Amino acid sequence: MSAATSARPQKTPGPLGHRDFRLLWAGESVSQLGSAATRVLLPLIAVNALGAGAFTMGLLNAAAWLPWLLIGLPVGAWTDRMRRRPVMIVCNTVSAALMFSLTVAAWLDALTTTQLLVVSLLLGTADVFFRAAYSAYLPALLPAGQLADGNARLQTSESAAEVVAPGAGGALAQAGSAAVGFLTDGLSFLISAVLLARIRTPESPPGGEERAPGKKTLLREIRDGVAFLTGDPFLRTILVCDAAMNLFLAGAQSLVILFLSRTVGADGTVIGVLIALAGLGGVLGAVLSPRLARRVGTARAVLLCAFGAGPFGLLIPLTSDGVGLLAFLVGEFCMMAGIVAGNIVIVSFRQAYCPPEMLGRVSSGIRFVMYGTVPVGSLLGGALGTAAGDRAALWILYAGNALCALLLLKGPLRTLRDLPVPETETEVPR
């Protein structure tokens, strides 16, 4: 071997160079495809087959997110005491069983609004446990310097699922084939569980080697996580802004399908295609996010995405039939691009910034606040839609979302190019 060859620097593999990350990515991609179809299928079934109104749609959306408000904080602390991968496998298995229950009910023509509400609540509960474990698990598979690229790939798959699957969900609802859609989603959860079970990377002992079992009570651990979150100006500022945005967006999302179906007059297939095309904005945001962060800086990227995305939501209440559907498409596309790009920067920052032994608690604390606003926002959207009509309610909700970006100016982000990063990185096995 020549000296020139031996001196050649070894290229660090990217996220896809890690076998176990590929398994996680594949499992999540399959699961997201099924779930994206169900997110369109389920509300369309509620509206068209079960006659749900604005308030019922608000309840249905609220049920999926209510568990974050009820159990988000203790689940985060509990997850920090457990190995994360088994938690994720159990959650996917439970979610599959719930989707199969809807499959059977649809086949027997026995589906009811009550069952949809109960299943949405239980799926939301499983998602609380899964997301708490999932956010804390990714740093076990990738070094800190690859978290942004890893999150971008995961988010690209989720956004791609939002392009491919909603059209299928809308078409299934239009054709009266709800059982097929629910069955597909259930199978996607099972496939994800199998792929997770094949991951070989060992997890560190829960809470770190130095922690003695029973040293701290669950309540004390929750308080430590909350204190870290509320005491950090970066985490606190981003959280307040995101939670406020979620409040208004949840209200809007609880009404959008009802608005497109009954007020605009679009059928299920058209609605599915519109949502799928708008999902391309999320794909674009996921692809551009790492480049945007490197070019303008991570702090500036968060500000740019927040201030750039919100105003496009004001196009959505202008939607009408025919060519007027472009208003929804452009508004949703641009909003999705900004939201996804900003989320990737924020999640990657949090995973690298927070102490590993507290990441589950901090992540769940953030979701407790962010997602806890969703049931409130959903009920707000349902109430506004009932009182003022779908279109007027959407004007109010999307305007509120756009104004929330101003909250980022109250923290330290406005004066920085980049968010803080840890000084050292630890490699993980491939």
Kindly report the average pLDDT of the chain as a whole number. 80
Bigger pLDDT: 8 or 343? 343
Neighbours of 8 (CB within 10 A): 10
Q: From 315, 310, 306, select the one nearest 341 (Cα to Cα).
A: 306
For range 246-259, the mean pLDDT: 90
Lowest mean pLDDT among 10-19, 70-79, 366-375: 10-19
pLDDT in tens, 283-330: 888 888 888 998 999 999 999 999 999 999 999 999 998 899 999 999
Predicted local distance difference test score (pLDDT) of residue 313: 95
For range 83-104, the mean pLDDT: 89
Q: How confident is the model at residue 160 (pLDDT cuts 50, 70, 90)?
A: low
How buried is 80 (Cβ within 10 angstroms: 0-12 exposed, 13-18 middle, 19+ buried)?
buried
pLDDT in tens, 333-384: 999 999 989 988 988 888 778 877 777 677 777 878 887 788 888 889 988 9
Predicted local distance difference test score (pLDDT) of residue 401: 95
Bigger pLDDT: 194 or 172? 194
- Let me know: does 317 contact 395? Beta carbons within 8 Å: yes
Determine what percent of the chain is predicted with pLDDT higher than 70.
83
Q: How confident is the model at residue 430 (pLDDT cuts 50, 70, 90)?
A: very low
- Residue 50 DSSP SS3: coil
Predicted local distance difference test score (pLDDT) of residue 205: 59
Residues 6+ apart with CB under 8 A from 244: 373, 400, 404, 407
For 72, 136, 203, 225, 355, the CA distances from 222, given in Å and listed in that order, are: 10, 15, 22, 5, 15
- Let me know: does 111 contact 396? Beta carbons within 8 Å: no
- Let me know: does 69 contact 82? Beta carbons within 8 Å: no
Neighbours of 200 (CB within 10 A): 8
Residues 6+ apart with CB under 8 A from 8: none
Both tokens assigned to 21? 């990350």
Residues 76 and 363: their CA atoms lie apart, in Å, by 7
For range 62-67, the mean pLDDT: 82
- Let me know: does 149 contact 344? Beta carbons within 8 Å: no
Residues 187 and 196: their CA atoms lie apart, in Å, by 14
Task: Kindly report the pTM of this predicted structure.
Answer: 0.68
Tally DSSP H helices, then E strands, for the chain: 14, 0
Predicted local distance difference test score (pLDDT) of residue 85: 86
pLDDT of 70 above 80: yes
Q: From 119, 115, 137, select the one nearest 35 (Cα to Cα).
A: 119
- Let me know: does 429 contact 201? Beta carbons within 8 Å: yes
Rounded (5°) CA angle 324-330-335: 135
Both tokens assigned to 351? 């995973």
Domain boundaries, the chain: 15-202+218-415
- Please name the fold of domain 15-202+218-415: Growth Hormone; Chain: A; (1.20.1250)
